[in-house]
């Protein structure tokens, strides 16, 4: 059985040699792709409109096929058009030549500025290209080319496809294509010639006409007229008459007294070299016939001045060096550096500072000394030199990355109040050049999470960016930052407020560095008030400490306009001036100690309401307008309370992490509640001190009115009275409010333990600033630099009024707000933002360059508007038609530019550039031509002739040729009748 089964198995493995070969499979795959893309059958459409290849949308779709193991990509290129109604037209279209053959004769789009090369050469709206899939692969041998062409011809014939099908041959850089288009009884062959040098006999129109006619081989005599379209392109590279208007910044002026320190608040802008490298002028003769003009090796009628159509395009310089983009990029590079400030500047710069830090006992003694620093004896003008003097003791001036003039200029710019000899009062000065606070530009910092444009942080970012770009690089950045930290330290020690920062707690909408500086300002304010409070308490009675505060608070929050909802936030009547005469739990004022004994508040002793009623009230701010105490009917007084501690975002995050680590157990929840109720306990103690004999209900009525519910009830006598009680949440056993109330002692805010330890927080901020590496600093300030760059771009754009730039700036703002609003953005996204800003800067620089070259400022109003519109089109469009050609205003300016360049090249005297601008006849007589030899010459020859026989159908014939220094190309489309031949 086994032997019998073997022959049977061999029978089923017999190979059928009648199946298709690799070539036939390839043809089948081509047909399959054409069918899938629905390119079968008649093709018809409207004649192409003028400029449709520029204004319309071209799309493509691709597929991959293989010939044996050689892979090809098949791509369908087509112009998106409205679908036409084909119903009832099939019969009429039987004898009509394919749409692609009609496109060969269309003269509306002869030289499209932006299109596929086959569109430019043949004017086709739709075609299919088969090319090697790999870039390195190529079809080189003639036999393979013929095999592919045969495959294309068979596939077109089998499917009835009327779309031209091309095959790419030779190396891809040569852009060599051959192809075929078939219709009912007609066929068009697409052929091409590509040479490196132009043969001498074909450098002019007459020689090209000879090629065209010999290729057609028309049997008719005389020959039908040949329609000709010609374009010559002239390139202007030498801008002799116009210098690039951008001047590099005068670094010496920044240091000297001519410009002043305010220049450090402005980022540089503009391109260092001309961002327009070339101007291409295309002179076109769109409709000529063979006998009208002469163009041979002896004489030519093709004078560019006489060309009916002029169009211009500009060649942009590759990667122009833009100051704004480069400065922001260099600042961004600091983010990747790993060196610390010590490593960059060397240890010697910090020896003096180290001695001060070592003597920490001296710093701590200041917390308990009642006598403050004698501020009025200090010389404020020496503040900006403090750090520099310390550094110069150990390092020569010549070794410093920043010289004294630059450093003084920057520090005076950052701290303008240091220029005054009088005592600093902490008032912030705003720059008149900054946008108003309600404007959209000013509020950009909310989106970028940077800092207001008139703030110290913003100015510091600009100065560091300028220092990094112009003065000392990374060492200069480290030097300025060290000086800045020493200056901040000096201000903290001597109670000088930091200028350029908004009052109040840290603004969480800004960057963390800005929040830290605001936190330090809060600490300085509290310390300053505490020192002043010590002076006041030494000379006045304690009961007279607060009239000024009560008056201020009373002006804003009087008894009649008190908002109860504000008190729910714990903010009403909180004044830190009144409690800050003591630090921590140390009571040094004699009057405070006497009051403490008089009120019977010995350590740890807690009295009930009756005992509290006998206490003398203290720490009152003012009387509540409506409420009275429930049990004794006395007026309820608003107490002086402590301000809640200001927090930066990193402290908030740290606090939330600590609270989260307590877990969800009952003990953890209770501990979390105790930690969060420190402010509540402080307010309860202040309330008890201001209202002796009060109860929890009294406190709740003032602090959280919604938790005290009042209802109208009828008493025993039948009268309607109001009866109140605590809310349900206040009655929960072990309620946090009840526990806090029982724990609270009647202690006024000025003798309570501070909720906000300004000394500790200030030391934390100063330590945080001191340990920042330049890379950390750059990360903090990069949003400010990007913010400044966007404002600079908007400012420069407003001078030029370029609509396309406005749209790009809006996109940059939208993109930046998404990237910068979250911590630690990715470097790649930051680089994208900087690249976008650089592109906008280059675009504005190009606009200025073109306006300078076309002299828009020197023209009349009407001509100026036309020229500005023309310049705007040059920036936005690939090619712009010159109204009036060489006789229009823009055309005359372009002509003048070419004449100037030509005469400069011929070494004519410079003054003749402007004087020898006579008539066209006079210019022809000059030895130097107005235009250089054309960089490129393009010819399109068309005709309709019967081919191959005299009785064949008249079919379109077309040949495109381009002649440049580097290449000579002929692209021919020759149609023939396949029915009558």
CA 639/CA 623 separation, integer angstroms: 9
C-alpha closest to that of 446 among 125, 783, 741: 783
Two tokens, residue 540: 């006045």
pLDDT at 71 (0 to 100): 92
pLDDT at 663 (0 to 100): 63
pLDDT at 759 (0 to 100): 84
CA distances in angstroms from 601 to 544, 586, 750, listed in the order given:
21, 15, 15
Torsion of CA 960, 964, 967, 973, to 10 degrees: 0
Asked whether 458 and 450 are in contact (CB, 8 A), the reply is: yes
Site of tokens 């294509």: 177
pLDDT at 420 (0 to 100): 64
Q: Which residues neighbour 821 within 8 Å (Cβ) at sequence distance 6 or greater?
A: 447, 448, 449
Q: Is 10 exposed, middle or buried (0-12, 13-18, 19+ CB in 10 A)?
A: exposed
pLDDT at 440 (0 to 100): 67
Give pLDDT < 50 ranges for the chain. 1-3, 5, 85-93, 250-262, 348-398, 421-433, 540-608, 610, 909-926
φ, ψ of residue 9 in degrees (nearest 5) = -65, -35
> What's the 3-state SS for 201-236?
HHCCHHHHHHHHHHHHCCCCCCCCCCEEEEEEEEEE
Asked whether 409 and 265 are in contact (CB, 8 A), the reply is: no
- Domains of the chain, by residue range, sit at 24-81+96-218+947-977, 225-242+265-324+785-906+931-941, 620-757
Residue-wise pLDDT tens digits, 678-696? 777 888 888 888 888 888 8
DSSP three-state, residue 733 = coil
DSSP three-state, residue 286 = strand
CA distances in angstroms from 978 to 815, 944, 953, listed in the order given:
60, 16, 9
Q: Is the pTM of this model over 0.85?
A: no
The DSSP secondary-structure symbol of 193 reads E
HSE at residue 111, side-chain half, CA atoms within 13 A, is: 28
Asked whether 533 and 577 are in contact (CB, 8 A), the reply is: yes
Strand partners, 942: 227, 958
Q: Which residues neighbour 604 within 8 Å (Cβ) at sequence distance 6 or greater?
A: none
CA 424/CA 476 separation, integer angstroms: 28
């Amino acid at each position: 059985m086994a032997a019998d089964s073997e022959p049977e198995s061999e029978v089923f493995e017999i190979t059928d040699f009648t199946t298709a070969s690799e070539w036939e499979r390839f043809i089948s795959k081509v047909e399959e792709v054409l069918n899938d893309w629905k390119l079968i059958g008649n093709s018809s459409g409207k004649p192409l409109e003028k400029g449709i290849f520029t204004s319309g949308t071209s799309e493509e779709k691709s597929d991959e096929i293989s010939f044996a193991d050689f892979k090809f990509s098949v791509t369908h290129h087509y112009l998106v058009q409205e679908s036409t109604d084909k119903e009832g037209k099939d019969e009429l279209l039987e004898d009509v030549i394919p749409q692609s053959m009609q496109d060969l004769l269309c003269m509306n789009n002869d030289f499209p500025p932006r299109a596929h090369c086959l569109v430019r050469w043949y004017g086709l709206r739709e075609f299919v290209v088969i090319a090697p899939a790999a870039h390195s692969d190529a079809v080189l041998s003639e036999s393979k080319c013929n095999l592919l062409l045969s495959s294309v011809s068979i596939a077109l014939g089998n499917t009835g496809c009327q779309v031209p099908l091309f095959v790419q041959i030779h190396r891809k850089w040569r852009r060599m294509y051959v192809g075929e288009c078939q219709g009912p009884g007609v066929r068009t062959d697409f052929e091409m010639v590509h040479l490196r040098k132009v043969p001498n006999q074909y450098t002019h129109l007459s020689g090209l006409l000879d090629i065209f006619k010999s290729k057609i081989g028309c049997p008719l005599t005389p020959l039908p007229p040949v329609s000709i379209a010609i374009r010559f392109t002239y390139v202007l590279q030498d801008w002799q008459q116009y210098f690039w208007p951008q001047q590099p910044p005068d670094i010496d002026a920044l240091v000297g007294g001519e410009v002043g320190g305010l220049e450090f608040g402005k980022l540089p802008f503009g391109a260092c070299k001309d961002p327009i490298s070339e101007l291409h002028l295309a002179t076109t003769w769109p409709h000529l016939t063979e006998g009208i003009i002469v163009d041979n090796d002896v004489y030519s009628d093709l004078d560019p001045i006489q060309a009916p159509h002029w169009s211009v395009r500009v060649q942009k310089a590759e990667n122009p060096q833009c100051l704004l983009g480069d400065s922001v990029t260099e600042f961004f590079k600091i983010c990747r550096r790993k060196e610390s400030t010590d490593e960059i500047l060397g240890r010697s710069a910090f020896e003096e500072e180290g001695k001060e830090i070592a003597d920490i006992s001296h710093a701590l003694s200041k917390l308990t000394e009642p006598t403050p620093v004698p501020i009025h004896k200090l010389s404020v003008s020496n503040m900006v030199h403090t750090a520099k003097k310390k550094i110069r003791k150990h390092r020569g001036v010549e070794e410093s990355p920043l010289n004294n003039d630059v450093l003084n200029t920057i520090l005076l710019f950052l701290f303008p109040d240091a220029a005054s000899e009088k005592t600093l009062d902490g008032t912030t000065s705003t720059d008149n050049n900054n946008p108003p606070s309600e404007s959209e530009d000013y509020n950009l910092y909310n989106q970028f999470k940077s800092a207001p444009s008139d703030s110290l942080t913003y100015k510091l970012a600009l100065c560091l960016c300028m220092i990094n770009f112009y003065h000392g690089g990374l060492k200069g950045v480290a030097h300025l930052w060290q000086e800045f930290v020493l200056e901040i330290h000096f201000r903290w020690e001597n109670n000088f407020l930091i200028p350029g920062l908004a009052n109040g707690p840290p603004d969480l909408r800004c960057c963390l560095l800005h929040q830290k500086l605001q936190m330090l300002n809060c600490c300085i304010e509290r310390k300053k008030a505490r020192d002043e409070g010590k002076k006041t308490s030494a000379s006045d009675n304690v009961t007279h400490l607060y009239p000024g505060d009560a008056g201020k608070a009373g002006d804003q929050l009087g008894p009649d306009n008190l908002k109860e909802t504000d008190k729910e936030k714990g903010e009403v009547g909180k004044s830190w001036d009144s409690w800050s005469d003591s630090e921590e739990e140390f009571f040094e004022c004699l009057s405070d100690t006497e009051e403490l004994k008089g009120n019977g508040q010995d350590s740890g002793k807690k009295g009930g309401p009756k005992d509290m009623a006998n206490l003398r009230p203290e720490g009152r701010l003012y009387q509540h307008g409506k409420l009275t105490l429930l049990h004794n009917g006395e007026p309820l007084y608003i107490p002086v309370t402590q301000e809640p501690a200001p927090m930066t975002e990193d402290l908030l995050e740290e606090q939330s992490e600590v609270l989260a680590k307590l877990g969800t157990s009952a003990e953890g929840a209770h501990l979390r509640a105790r930690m969060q109720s420190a402010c509540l306990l402080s307010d309860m103690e202040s309330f008890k001190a201001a209202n002796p004999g009060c109860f929890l209900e009294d406190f709740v009525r003032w602090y959280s009115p919604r938790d005290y519910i009042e209802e109208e009830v009828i008493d025993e006598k039948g009268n309607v009275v109001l009866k109140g009680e605590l809310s349900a949440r206040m009655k929960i056993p072990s309620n946090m409010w009840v526990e806090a109330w029982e724990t609270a002692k009647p202690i006024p805010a000025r003798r309570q333990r501070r909720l906000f330890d300004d000394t500790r927080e200030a030391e934390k901020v100063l330590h945080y600033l001191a340990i920042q590496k330049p890379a950390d600093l750059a990360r903090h300030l990069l949003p400010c630099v990007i913010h400044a760059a966007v404002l600079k771009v908007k400012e420069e754009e407003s001078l030029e009024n370029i609509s396309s730039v406005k749209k790009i700036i809006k996109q940059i703002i939208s993109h930046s707000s998404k990237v910068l609003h979250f911590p630690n953005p990715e470097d790649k996204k930051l680089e994208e933002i900087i690249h976008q800003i650089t592109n906008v800067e280059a675009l504005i620089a190009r606009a200025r360059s073109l306006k300078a070259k076309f002299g828009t400022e020197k023209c009349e109003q009407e001509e100026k508007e036309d020229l500005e519109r023309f310049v705007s089109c040059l920036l936005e469009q690939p090619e712009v038609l010159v109204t009036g050609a060489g006789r229009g205003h823009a055309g005359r300016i372009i002509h003048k530019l070419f004449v100037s360049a030509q005469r400069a090249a011929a070494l004519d005297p410079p003054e003749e550039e402007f004087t020898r601008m006579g008539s066209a006849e006079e210019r022809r007589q000059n030895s130097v031509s107005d235009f250089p030899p054309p960089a490129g010459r393009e010819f399109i020859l068309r005709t309709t002739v019967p081919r191959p026989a005299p009785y064949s159908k008249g079919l379109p014939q077309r040949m495109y040729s381009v002649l440049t220094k580097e290449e000579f190309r002929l692209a021919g489309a020759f149609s023939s009748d396949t029915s009558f031949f």
